[in-house]
Amino acid sequence: MIDVLTIQRLSELQTKHIVSIGDASDDVPLTSEEKALLDSAEGRVVLIYLSGPMMFGVSKAIAREQNAIQDQKAIVLDLHDVPLIDTTVSLAIENFIKDSVESERLVFVVKPQSQAKRSLERLGVFEIIPGTHMCENRRDALSKALMTIPSDD
């Protein structure tokens, strides 16, 4: 019983480290340039920021983020502050990216730290999107998303 409660509490804590924003927000520490880029997207780009170790409990939260995306043309999935990803979360991220691509959304990924990156590479997650959509930092990912998405004209 204690293990189940511990797992549930850990999952709740990890879920708080998944933030989705469509314009500049205080929920994610953005530089002024990143805020300007996100604001200039006028809702066509959504930033999904994950941080901290990601274990199986957050898989449902990742799926919820997918369901919450409506009219955005591009997604920036920022994994830079994720040091560890287990297989269940790697599969959830893979499904998230596949579903987004199948829904004709552009996906840009800010590369995670080394262990998390290796976990995703083993599953071939980064092969789902063009190599040019892999970015070293959030600013580059937001810039590429803005340059690539079609205008609403």
Residue 153: the pLDDT is: 53
In this structure, is residue 81 part of a structural domain?
Answer: yes
Residue 57: the pLDDT is: 75
Count of domains forming the chain: 1
Q: What is the pLDDT of residues 130-140, one digit of tens each?
A: 999 999 999 99
**Range with lowest mean pLDDT among 18-22, 37-41, 67-71, 96-100:** 18-22
Q: What count of Cα atoms within 13 Å lies in the side-chain half-sphere of residue 143?
A: 8
Question: Which runs of consecutive H residues, i.e. helices, occur in 21-149?
Answer: 32-40, 59-68, 87-102, 114-122, 138-148
pTM value is 0.83
Pairing mode, strands 18-21 and 45-51: antiparallel
Percent of the chain with pLDDT over 90: 52
Q: What angle, rounded to 10 degrees, do the helices at 32-40 and 138-148 form?
A: 20
DSSP structure string for 28-61: S---HHHHHHHHHTTTSEEEEEEES-B-GGGHHH
pLDDT over threshold 60, residue 4 = no
In this structure, is residue 75 part of a structural domain?
Answer: yes
Residue 7: the pLDDT is: 44
In this structure, is residue 153 part of a structural domain?
Answer: no
Task: Please state, as a whole number, how many other Cβ atoms lie within 10 Å of the Cβ of residue 24.
Answer: 16
Residue 151: the pLDDT is: 72
DSSP label at 133? G
pLDDT over threshold 50, residue 71 = yes
Q: What count of Cα atoms within 13 Å lies in the side-chain half-sphere of residue 101?
A: 17
* 12: amino acid identity, one letter: E
**Range with lowest mean pLDDT among 17-31, 43-57, 96-110:** 17-31
Q: What is the CATH number of the domain that holds 46?
A: 3.30.750.24
Domain encompassing residue 31 = 2-148
Question: At 5, is the pLDDT very low, low, confident or very high (cuts 50, 70, 90)?
Answer: very low
